[in-house]
Amino acid sequence: MSFVPLSSLLQAPTLAPMAHSFAPVVLGDHTEKPGIQLNEIRQFRVAGKGYVFVPAVTAIFGLDELGAEILGWLRPLDYQSATAIEAVQTPATRHAVLGEIVAAFEPRYHRSAIVGAIKDLRDIGVLRLVGFREEGLKAPAPKLPPMPFPQRTLVLNVANDCNLGCSYCFAAQGDYGTPKRMMSEETARRSVDFLLGNSGVHKSVTIVFFGGEPLMNLKLIRRLVDYANDAGVKAGKEVEFTMTTNATYLTPEVIDFLSENRIGVSVSIDGPKQYHDLRRTYKSGHGSYDFIRPRVLELLSRHKTRPIAARATLTHGVTAVQECFWHLKDMGFHEVGFAPVTSASQDEFALTRDEMWQVLGEFRQLADVYVEDALQNRHLGFSNVSNVLSELHAGVVKAYPCGAGLGLLGVGVDGDLFLCHRFSESKEHRMGSVQEGLDTAKQEQFLRQAHLSRKGGCQVCWVRHICSGGCHHEAYTRHGALHEPNAHYCEWIRTWIDLGLDCYARIMDGNPMFLEKFIDKRGA
């Protein structure tokens, strides 16, 4: 039956249109050669054994000889240097069909073993069979963590002042460039309430006493510890305390207080006197080593309820890592960690490129000692290695380099909230206050912009899920931009993670219980 318009005298044409699907014009060539294709991996050998690291999900596998040889055949190890960026496909990778690989290995291995090895490698995402509907492992799609994100740690600037004048201080010699002030009790209580109130599912929270020099406001700390313990009980949460101090205010009474209240202590000390006094001076320029040494020793002998850590900053001329390490260990510190100073490249205390690589060489030697101890079930206490082992063991896939702005916030002396303690008192990076609450719009904006997927340069780097671009403050100081990856560190970090993988493989295959005993317990 056909239809005609009322006003029309003509017959309508009788073509009946049929549904057609449109063939899109395809631009670009997406064809891959059929066969076996390596996914993004980093393969390495330790003591003759083969291993593979899968960056997409931070998985580490040991391989048997056949598996390692197959990978080496597809892409020879010497094509990758410790410092090279590995893209998903490098030109050096050989395309091969299954038959070719079997033919290459058949004289020495059974066909079924070869095929079995390839299947295993496929199953763990190391390679894929192209043309067989299979894909490489997908890294998790970028998205914001669920909001509101529970708070875990607050770093309180309890004293916006310091009695020392260390030349490299990121807090501008202790007061972040703002008027010297002590945090009031009211603000400190609000901070504790804020932390407990926003801790979500966390069963325990951490308060870090920071500054300036936090012990300049000991009175507040004493009161706050009591308040926080009470508040914690009421909220049904455990409250932990830690403190970073320059050690100049440590008297026996103070030490006892710290010990009784189980406050973990991190002492800022750079090594033996000749290194420490180069930078960690009073405002007069006089070194502080002689003054703090007896106090530190007193701390280490009296305070037994929590581990005491030494945090040493490496600067221009202060790169003798092993010397400093053993000196501090001999003093009695349980853990020693080293951090290269955060600097603009023209700062006089900035490490040169050569010094950075010297430091890495020293790290490597110390790491060897660490591994030897680990194989004997002893923990050396070299924090840098413990940290990287911890992340590798967990298989972290980090969208952000740290918890700043997420589960960790800095609180300024007046109660303002900042990304972390390094941004304390920086108006630009203010994210609300403990009085008004967290500015979630700002937080969301920060998290959006800081997400790893926004760092273009990181996308082809195989350590991206562990490094995630590096410290925001470091980037801000060096590059003037919060969200830039720390490009000046990239090669170094990749080499460092390579070293970490090496240590990890040796320990896991030599004494797997070590990691569970010493590293797993550390927590995120």
Q: How far is the CB of 446 from other proteins (least distance, A)?
A: 12
Q: Rounded distance, CA 482 to CA 477, Å?
A: 8
CA-to-CA dists, residue 436 to 154, 280, 446, 467, angstroms = 16, 37, 19, 33
Q: Which of 29, 78, 123, 253 binds other proteins (CB under 8 A)?
A: 123
Token representation of residue 19:
């549904």
Give the count of residues interacting with other proteins (CB under 8 A): 60
Token representation of residue 418:
């900042």
Q: Rounded distance, CA 302 to CA 19, Å?
A: 86
Q: Which of 141, 354, 428, 480 binds other proteins (CB under 8 A)?
A: 141
Q: How far is the CB of 439 from other proteins (least distance, A)?
A: 15
Find out whether 44 and 75 touch, Cβ atoms under 8 Å. no
Region of 52-60, 83-91, 294-302, 335-343 interacting with other proteins (CB under 8 A): 52-60
Region of 169-177, 259-267, 358-366, 450-458 interacting with other proteins (CB under 8 A): 450-458
* Closer by beta carbon to other proteins, 279 or else 455: 455
CA-to-CA dists, residue 427 to 31, 88, 171, 176, 423, angstroms = 52, 41, 14, 11, 9
Q: How far is the CB of 406 from other proteins (least distance, A)?
A: 14
9: contact with other proteins by CB under 8 A: no
Q: How far is the CB of 394 from other proteins (least distance, A)?
A: 6
Q: Which of 38, 74, 101, 121 binds other proteins (CB under 8 A)?
A: 121
- Contacts of residue 13, defined as CB under 8 A and 6 or more positions apart, other chains included, come to none
Q: Rounded distance, CA 300 to CA 71, Å?
A: 50
With tokens 């317990």, the residue in question is 521
Region of 61-69, 79-87, 274-282, 319-327 interacting with other proteins (CB under 8 A): 61-69
359 to 398, contacts with other proteins by CB under 8 A?
392-395, 397
Find out whether 275 and 327 touch, Cβ atoms under 8 Å. no
Binding-residue pattern over the window 491 to 520 for other proteins, x denoting contact by CB under 8 A: -------------xx--xx-----------
Q: Which of 143, 203, 234, 304 binds other proteins (CB under 8 A)?
A: 143
Find out whether 60 and 505 touch, Cβ atoms under 8 Å. yes
Q: Is the dihedral of CA 461, 487, 364, 84 positive or negative?
A: positive
48: contact with other proteins by CB under 8 A: no
Q: Rounded distance, CA 179 to CA 466, Å?
A: 38
7: contact with other proteins by CB under 8 A: yes
Q: Which residues bind other proteins (CB under 8 A)?
A: 1-8, 12-13, 15, 17-18, 20, 22-25, 27, 51, 54, 57-64, 66-67, 113, 116-117, 120-121, 123-125, 134, 137, 141-144, 392-395, 397, 444, 447-448, 451, 453, 456, 504-505, 508-509
